[in-house]
């Protein structure tokens, strides 16, 4: 039995090794070809960026659907109107998404993701604390200008649509629910989303391509994943600023703080004002 387990482990490791070798061969071939043709290089970079973006997007949507399906089957319908259920749902989705989006490519391609690639080097600094509110002001001004432009281009869209966040005022009938909602929306979501988008996705893209296309791919996907035009435009502008902050600091910490500030302000107006 022990020999059988060792054989399975060796086979699994060999399979991952072969996948990594195939990936390296493809990348090396693309590099050689890129020296001959600039158009080919741009096309390969575009496909690489699209592939990573699709991977993150599909993982998020698939896990949300799967977790919702399982919880609907397991829990009574009335429990879905509780803050506890919404919080458990978000914690599970973020936890599984982090593991799958980062660890599966690592396992399959044997390409270790480092703390530097994730932008998690060191701890938050005073510079991060200073840049975050400045970045938030810039992001909100950019979001306002971009929203005004989009409203002029696409007047038929409901630009005042309320954002769906998984909670509503009727849930906030005692302090425990308020704390749960605050923890998920203002702490958990910013940390996890920054690790996934400005951490893993942007880090991988930036390793292969210049900053501008990496910023655009990350930010467009981040906007699309929010599922609403008015929210998508705002978070697109936020993502651009947070990617720039990562370029300036080398970490995601200023972006995490900016994201927390933005969600904290939104939380106040949604549930406390």
Rounded CA-CA distance 110/125 in Å is 32
What pLDDT is recorded for position 190? 95
Question: Who's near 189: CB < 8 A, 6+ residues apart?
Answer: 90, 94, 259, 263
Give the residue-averaged pLDDT of 130-158: 91
What pLDDT is recorded for position 5? 46
Q: Which letter does DSSP use for residue 209 in this model?
A: S
pLDDT bracket for residue 48 (50, 70, 90): confident
Q: 170-208 b/e with 16+ CB inside 10 Å = b?
A: ebbeeeebbebbbebbbebbbbbbbbbbbbbbbbbbbee
| Whether residue 178 has pLDDT greater than 90 | no
The pTM (predicted TM-score) of the whole model is 0.83
Of 77, 73, 53, the residue nearest 65 (C-alpha): 73
pLDDT bracket for residue 41 (50, 70, 90): confident
Q: At what angle do helices 38-74 and 83-109 cross, to 10 degrees?
A: 140
Tell me the pLDDT of the chain averaged across its residues. Answer: 83
| Whether residue 236 has pLDDT greater than 80 | yes
What pLDDT is recorded for position 143? 93
Of 183, 193, 249, 253, the residue nearest 218 (C-alpha): 193
Q: Where are the domains of the chain?
A: 37-272
Q: Are 103 and 195 in contact (CB under 8 A)?
A: no
Question: Who's near 122: CB < 8 A, 6+ residues apart?
Answer: 251
């Amino acid at each position: 039995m022990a020999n059988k387990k060792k054989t399975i482990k060796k086979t699994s490791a060999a399979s991952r090794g072969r996948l990594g070798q195939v990936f390296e061969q493809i990348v090396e071939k693309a590099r050689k070809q890129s020296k001959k043709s600039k158009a080919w290089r741009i096309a390969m970079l575009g496909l690489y960026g699209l592939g990573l973006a699709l991977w993150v997007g599909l993982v998020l949507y698939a896990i949300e659907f799967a977790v919702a399906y399982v919880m609907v089957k397991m829990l009574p319908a009335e429990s879905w109107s509780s803050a506890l259920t919404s919080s458990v749902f978000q914690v599970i989705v973020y936890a599984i998404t982090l593991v799958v989006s980062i660890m599966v490519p690592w396992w399959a391609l044997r390409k270790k993701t480092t703390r530097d690639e994730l932008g998690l080097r060191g701890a938050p600094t005073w510079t991060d604390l200073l840049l975050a509110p400045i970045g938030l002001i810039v992001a909100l001004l950019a979001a306002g200008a971009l929203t005004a432009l989009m409203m002029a281009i696409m007047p038929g869209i409901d630009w005042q649509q309320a954002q769906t966040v998984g909670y509503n005022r009727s849930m906030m009938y005692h302090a425990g629910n308020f704390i749960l909602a605050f923890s998920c929306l203002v702490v958990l979501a910013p940390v996890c989303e920054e690790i996934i988008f400005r951490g893993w996705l942007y880090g991988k893209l930036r390793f292969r391509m210049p900053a501008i296309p990496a910023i655009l791919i990350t930010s467009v996907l981040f906007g699309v994943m929010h599922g609403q035009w008015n929210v998508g435009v705002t978070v697109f502008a936020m993502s651009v600023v947070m990617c720039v902050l990562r370029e300036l600091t080398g970490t995601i910490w200023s972006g995490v703080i900016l994201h927390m500030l933005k969600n904290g302000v939104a939380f106040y107006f949604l549930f406390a004002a």
